[in-house]
């Protein structure tokens, strides 16, 4: 209703003197607004690739990476392990944000350090998964399912790496003597971003390790079958 009333305001009427409302406290920080839009942008990009993935999965040459005992992700302990690392990274970032709220500088430093480090570990783990796949003969161009695996995980890792750069910046600012309040917005943004990338990874994990039958079902449900 707030948005509706804003859009139905009568701008041709001048505001009476002294009636002009504004928020002197600052309102939602712009960084948070920008992050929300950024997450929408990233989501749109991934959703569009999901759509092409599901469409492509229904073509005869598509060979899923799970569903038969000999396929690499029929059992996927490797991916479960990387998932655990990312969950831990997300928890560490959440701890950092919690420490900001309770004004504990050591907790903030520890949280973002561990969160950033585990994100790097996750990226390295993904890299080893690529090598593992390539050594098994699942090269990037051998099959569209492989291509999508490399594409999805590569883009996800790239986004995570961007987040690590942001964490490093927070780290440097704290090192330069910025107070907790001065980095609070940045820490909150990093935490949100980490949670988002964890959620995105869970979706990717689910999508990339399905059987052909599951893809057929998903594609049909989305009207792409």
Partner 1 sequence: MTHIAIADQEPELHHPRTFIGKYIWSQDHKVIAIQYACTAIFVGLVALMLSVVMRLQLGFPDQFDFINPNMYLQFVTMHGMIMVIYLLTALLLGGFGNYLIPLMVGTRDMVFPYLNMLSFWFYFLSVLVLLASFFAPGGPTGAGWTLYPPQSILEGTPGSGWGIVLMLASLAIFIIAFTMGGLNYVSTILQARTRGMTLMRMPLTIWGIFTATILGLFAFPALLVSAIMMLFDSVLGTSFFMPAIVSLGEATDYEGGSPILFQHLFWFFGHPEVYIVALPAFGMVSDVLSVHARKNIFGYRMMVWAIVIIGGLSFVVWAHHMYVSGMNPYFGFFFATTTLIIAVPTAIKVYNWVLTLWQGNIHLTVPMLFAIGFIFTFTHGGLSGLFLGNVVIDLPLSDTFFVVAHFHMVMGVSPIMVLFAAIYHWFPLVTGKQLNTRLGMIHFWGTFLGTYAIYLPMHYIGFLGVPRRYYALGDTSFIPDSAHALNANITIAVIIVALFQLIFIINLFWTIKREPKSRINPWDAASLEWHTPDVPPRHGNWGKELPTVHRWAYDYSVPGVVDDFIPQHVPDSDVTYEPGYDRTATGREST
Q: Is residue 35 within 8 Å of 193, Cβ to Cβ? A: yes
Cα–Cα distance, 155 to 46 (Å, whole number): 9
Query: Smaller CB distance to partner 1: residue 49 or 114?
Result: 49
Q: Which of 60, 137, 175, 177 binds partner 1 (CB under 8 A)?
A: 60
**Residue numbers 150-189 binding partner 1 by CB under 8 A:** 151, 155
Q: Which of 1, 4, 12, 177 binds partner 1 (CB under 8 A)?
A: 12
- The residue among 151, 94, 80 whose CA lies nearest residue 122 is 80
> Of 47-55, 93-101, 172-180, 192-200, which segment contacts partner 1 by CB under 8 A?
47-55
Taking the complex as a whole, the smallest distance from the CB of residue 164 to partner 1 amounts, in Å, to 17
**H-run or E-run covering 64:** none
- The residue among 192, 217, 205 whose CA lies nearest residue 82 is 205
The three-point CA angle 3-17-8 to 5° equals 20
- CA 126 to each of CA 42, 69, 79, 120: distance values in angstroms, whole numbers, following the listed order: 20, 22, 8, 10
Taking the complex as a whole, the smallest distance from the CB of residue 223 to partner 1 amounts, in Å, to 11
Asked if 137 touches partner 1 (CB under 8 A), the answer is no
Query: Smaller CB distance to partner 1: residue 113 or 212?
Result: 212
Q: Using CB under 8 A as the criterion, which residues of the chain lie in contact with partner 1 when the complex forms?
A: 6-17, 20-31, 33-34, 37-38, 40-42, 44-45, 48-49, 52, 55-56, 59-62, 140-141, 144, 147, 151, 155
């Amino acid at each position: 209703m707030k948005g509706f009333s804003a859009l139905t305001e009568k701008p041709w009427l001048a505001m009476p003197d002294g009636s002009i409302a504004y928020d002197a406290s600052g309102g939602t920080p712009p960084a948070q607004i920008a992050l929300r839009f950024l997450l929408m942008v990233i989501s749109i990009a991934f959703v569009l690739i999901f759509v092409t993935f599901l469409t492509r999965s229904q073509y005869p040459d598509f060979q899923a990476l799970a569903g038969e005992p000999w396929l690499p992700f029929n059992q996927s302990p490797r991916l479960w392990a990387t998932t655990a690392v990312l969950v831990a990274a997300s928890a560490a970032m959440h701890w950092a944000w919690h420490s900001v709220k309770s004004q504990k500088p050591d907790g903030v430093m520890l949280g973002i350090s561990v969160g950033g480090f585990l994100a790097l570990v996750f990226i390295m783990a993904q890299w080893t998964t690529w090598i593992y796949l390539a050594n098994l003969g699942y090269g990037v161009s051998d099959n569209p399912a492989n291509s999508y695996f490399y594409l999805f995980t590569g883009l996800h890792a790239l986004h995570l790496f961007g987040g690590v750069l942001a964490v490093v910046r927070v780290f440097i600012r704290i090192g330069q003597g910025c107070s907790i309040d001065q980095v609070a917005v940045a820490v909150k943004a990093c935490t949100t971003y980490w949670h988002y990338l964890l959620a995105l990874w869970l979706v990717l994990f689910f999508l990339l390790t399905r059987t052909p039958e599951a893809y057929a079902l998903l594609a049909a449900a989305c009207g792409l079958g």
